Amino acid sequence: MTTFKRKRVVLPDFRPNAGIRAAYHSELARLLRSARNEVMQAVAHNWQAPQPVAMDAARDILGRVIDAIIAKWMTSLNDLPQKMARRFVGQTAGALDRGLSATLKKSGFAVNLQLTPATKEAMRASVGVNVGLIKSIPGEYLGDVQKYVWESVEAGFDLKTLTDNLEHAYHIGRNRAKLIARDQSNKVHAVMEQARRQELGIKKAIWRHSAAAKEPRQSHVKANGKEFDIDKGMYLDGEWVLPGQAINCGCTSSSVLEW
C-alpha cells in the first residue's frame, strides 16, 4: 500500500500596495481641496461689510452663494466617485493578483487568475463602499461649511471667526481622507485576497501583525504567527475578524497550501 505524505507550503504575506494607497489619498485630498478652494473664493468675493446697514444683506448673499456651491457639488458627485472607486479597487486587485501569481509560480503552481463571478462580486462590493466614502469627504466638509456660514449670517460673526471655522472643517476633512485611504487600502486588499483564496481552495492562513501602529491592538499582537481558518478568521476582541478588516488594522496573513 502506498502512503502519501501531506505537503505544506506557507506563502509570504502580501501587503497593500503603498503606491496605490498614496495615489488614492492624493485623489481624495485633491477632491476636498477643490471644494475648499471654491468655498474660500466665494467667501472672499461675497463677504462685504462696507456699511453696517448693508451687513445683513451682504451676509445673506454669501449664505445663498454657499448653498448654490453645495448644490452644484452634490450634482458633480453623481459620477466622479464611481470612476475613482473603480480605478482604486481595480488597481488593488491587479497588484494582488500579480504578486500572488508570481509567488505561486515560484512555489511550483501555475495558476491563471481570471475575473470569476466571486471576484467580480467582491470588487463590486468594494467599489460600492468606496463610492459612499468618496462622496462623504466633500459632502461632510460642505455640510460643515454650510453650518458655519449660516451661523455667521445669523450671529454676525466677523470674517476671521468664519475663516477659522472653515479651516477647522477643512483640517478635519484632510484627516478623514488620510484615514479612509489607509483603511480602505487594507480592507480592499483583504477582501480581494479572501476571494482569491477561496477560489484557489486555500483553507488556512497565518496571521501576521503589522508592527506599524504606535498603539497596536494587543489582541492582534498576540495573534501574530497563529493559524486560522480563512472562512472564519480569528476571534479577537469579541468578534471574528480577518487581517485588515478592523478599522486601521494593517495586519496581513500568509496563505497555507496543503496537498
Please indicate, yes or no, whether residues 175 and 232 belong to a single structural domain of this protein: no
State which of 159, 180, 200 marks the end of a domain.
200
98: in domain: yes
Q: pTM for the complete prediction?
A: 0.88
Instruction: Please tell me the predicted confidence (pLDDT) of residue 141.
Output: 95
Please state, in angstroms and rounded to a whole number, the distance separating the CA atoms of residues 6 and 4. 6
Please indicate, yes or no, whether residues 179 and 208 belong to a single structural domain of this protein: no
Please indicate, yes or no, whether residues 150 and 209 belong to a single structural domain of this protein: no
Please say if the pLDDT value at position 51 is more than 50.
no
Please indicate, yes or no, whether residues 22 and 100 belong to a single structural domain of this protein: yes
Please indicate, yes or no, whether residues 193 and 236 belong to a single structural domain of this protein: no
Q: Which position has the grid cell 473603480? A: 86
SS3 (DSSP) at 226: coil
Please indicate, yes or no, whether residues 184 and 243 belong to a single structural domain of this protein: no
Containing 187, the helix (H) or strand (E) segment is: helix 159-200
Check residue 213 and report its DSSP letter. Answer: -
Cell of 161: 471667526
40: in domain: yes
Q: How confident is the model over 221-242, as pLDDT tens digits?
A: 999 999 999 999 999 999 999 9
Q: How confident is the model over 53-76, as pLDDT tens digits?
A: 455 555 678 878 888 998 999 888
Please indicate, yes or no, whether residues 195 and 206 belong to a single structural domain of this protein: no
Please indicate, yes or no, whether residues 182 and 194 belong to a single structural domain of this protein: yes
Q: How confident is the model over 65-122, as pLDDT tens digits?
A: 888 998 999 888 888 999 999 999 999 999 999 999 988 888 887 777 888 888 999 9
50: in domain: yes
132: in domain: yes
7: in domain: no
Q: How confident is the model over 166-214, as pLDDT tens digits?
A: 999 999 999 999 999 999 999 999 999 999 998 888 999 999 998 777 7
- What is the domain extent for residue 245? 202-259
5: in domain: no
Please indicate, yes or no, whether residues 137 and 248 belong to a single structural domain of this protein: no
3: in domain: no
State which of 185, 200, 215 marks the end of a domain.
200
State which of 156, 177, 200 marks the end of a domain.
200
Please state, in angstroms and rounded to a whole number, the distance separating the CA atoms of residues 138 and 81. 11
Please indicate, yes or no, whether residues 124 and 157 belong to a single structural domain of this protein: yes
Q: Are 232 and 205 in contact (CB under 8 A)?
A: no
Please indicate, yes or no, whether residues 32 and 44 belong to a single structural domain of this protein: yes
Containing 217, the helix (H) or strand (E) segment is: none
Q: What total of structural domains would you count in the chain?
A: 2
Please indicate, yes or no, whether residues 112 and 238 belong to a single structural domain of this protein: no
Containing 81, the helix (H) or strand (E) segment is: helix 80-106
Cell of 183: 483603511
Residue 59 identity: R
Please state, in angstroms and rounded to a whole number, the distance separating the CA atoms of residues 95 and 145. 38
